[in-house]
Structure 1
Amino acid sequence: MAALGVRCSRRLLPLLGAPRPLHTSPGNPSARVAVVLSGCGVYDGTEIHEASAILVHLSRQGAEVKMFAPDIPQMHVIDHSKGQPSQENRNVLVESARLARGDVTALSKLSAKDHDAVIFPGGFGAAKNLSSFAVDGESCSVHSEVERVLQDFRKAEKPIGLCCIAPVLAAKVIPGVEVTVGQEEEQGGKWPYCGTTKAIQAMGGKHSAKEVHEVHVDKSHKVVTTPAFMGQAPLHTIFDGIGSMVSNVLRLTGK
């Protein structure tokens, strides 16, 4: 049966052609947006629902999107069915290609001059592969290419969007930035990662308490953030919050 599936797939390839990306929009794009991934899977890479929501909202608003990821080994691989580390070794760029339908470029090639904005989905990959926040907290380091990208977009005064845990990257790299990762109290388990707010403040950032459907816009630094899966909420509410983040990022591009 497996062999039959492989043969059928090979017969179909000439008919289907190369994989077609889903994250581009026809017509005149309103903005050129880079999306930075950190793998594929909430516990060791990019949160898939967040990445998909970002791409849908960007597509709906006519943005031209290009996907990037660092070409580095993952910190580790999690068996998502068990929530436990496995003995596998995986590459962040290769895993990100699963989300990007193969159309992903090494982060080292991302230049602020070629894009109007950059957006970082969340997922533990942002805290494990793009930085060491998951291990080191406020004393973390940010991957050199991620730091370069954030600094370059900041210097160019081009907007930066981040959701879920990803705002810690901005807090570490951009002095005095204002972000949100949700509420500052656990509220009976609704906000299980609320301790992140203290780490953001310890890194020199400023935290603004927001609900899942809300965003915080730091107009001074052109940084837009939303809590996403940092809080317990229905998926459609998270989707709406990410949509507001995307809309505000695109508005700040002026296009």
Structure 2
Amino acid sequence: MKKIAVLLSGCGVFDGSEIYETVITLLAIERNGASYQCFAPNKDQFHVIDHHAQQPVSETRNVLTEAARLARGNVKPLHDLKVHEFDALIIPGGFGAAKNFSDFAVKGADAAADQDVVAFCQQFAAAKKPAGYMCIAPSLLPFVYGHGIQLTIGNDNDTAQALEQLGAKHIDCAVSDIVVDEQHRVVTTPAYMLAGSLSEAASGIDKLVAKVLSLATTD
């Protein structure tokens, strides 16, 4: 049975992992006959958002602790990764991927990434194991793979330009489709960068998970 590492950035679309994307991902992994283990960095979130008011609040929360809400408690810190035990990596979106993994959400093309997160992801790259990044999570890819990595965040021109300034090659993509960088074995899909419903998000996420698992079978 293939085993997938799933990297979470907290819990909640505005300051952590997008809950719908994460659940769809975990379900798709199981439906494809694979298993998963969730991971998250043990650090404070960039900030905390009141998801009802959609405003920041004066509060501090830990990414790992919040991710445990989403993973039903079964989440490990980054340093627990033994990359040889896994066949692939998948990262759901949500603004946490661009706030807690890097500061892309606030600095765009001038962003810097969390080096512990980058090192975690680079273990899969170094082992030539496939990876899937969705929604805004592909903003981390230039830091992991360097210049020339092919990816999509959908069709938002300003975000695409910022990613290209960081060294990525952006490809416009429909919500129901995926972009595959064959050289780096990386799969991306827009998910809620474009989706207007659960079913629309699932249409691309299901393809991403299936493709990542198919690439893993060639190891």
Which TM-score band (shorter chain)?
over 0.9
Find the aligned partners of 1:100 and 1:129 in 2 and give their Cα distance. 17
Q: C-alpha separation between the residues in 1 aligned to 2:195 and 2:71? A: 26
Given that residues 15 and 47 in structure 2 are in contact (C-alpha distance below 8 angstroms), is that contact kept between their aligned partners in structure 1? yes
CA deviation vs aligned residue, 1:222-247 (integer Å, no higher than 9, x gap): 00000001114332011111000000
Tell me which residue corresponds to 1:86: 57
**1:93 alignment partner, SS class:** helix
Coordinate RMSD, CA, aligned: 1.1
Instruction: For residue 173 of structure 1, report the CA deviation from its aligned partner.
Output: 2.4
- The residue that corresponds to 2:213 in the other structure is 250
Matches of 2:216 and 2:207, distance apart in 1: 15
- TM-score for both structures, normalised by structure 1: 0.83
Alignment of 1:1-255 (within 5 A): 29=1, 31-175=2-146, 176-184=148-156, 194-254=157-217
CA separation of 1:65 and 1:232: change in aligned 2, threshold 3 A: closer
CA contact (8 A) 2:17 2:93 kept: yes
Identity of aligned residues (%): 46
For residues 166 and 198 of structure 1, what CA distance do their matches in structure 2 show? 16
TM-score where L is the length of structure 2: 0.96
Matched with 1:4 is none
Partners of 2:6 and 2:195 in 1: CA distance: 24
Asked if the contact 1:172/1:205 (under 8 Å) is kept, the reply is no
Equivalent position amino acid for 1:70 in 2: P
Unpaired segments ≥5 residues, structure 2: none
Aligned residue pairs total 217
- Give yes or no for contact 2:133–2:189 (8 Å, CA) kept in 1: yes
Q: Say which one has the larger Rg.
A: 1
- Cα deviation, 1:90-133, whole Å, max 9, x if unaligned, reads 10000000010001000122232221101110000001111111
- Name structure 1 gaps, 5 residues minimum: 1-28, 185-193
Cα separation, 2, equivalents of 1:149 and 1:177 = 18
Which whole-Å CA distance do the structure 2 matches of 1:173 and 1:103 have between them? 25
Q: Greater relative contact order (Cα 8 A, min sep 6): structure 1 or 2? A: 2
C-alpha separation in 2, matches of 1:109 and 1:232: 33
- How many Å separate the matches in 2 of 1:201 and 1:230? 17
Find the aligned partners of 2:200 and 2:14 in 1 and give their Cα distance.
21
Structure 1 CA distance, aligned partners of 2:58 and 2:197? 33
Conserved? CA contact 1:157–1:221, under 8 Å: yes
Amino acid at match of 1:91: N
Deviation at 1:88, TM superposition (A): 1.3
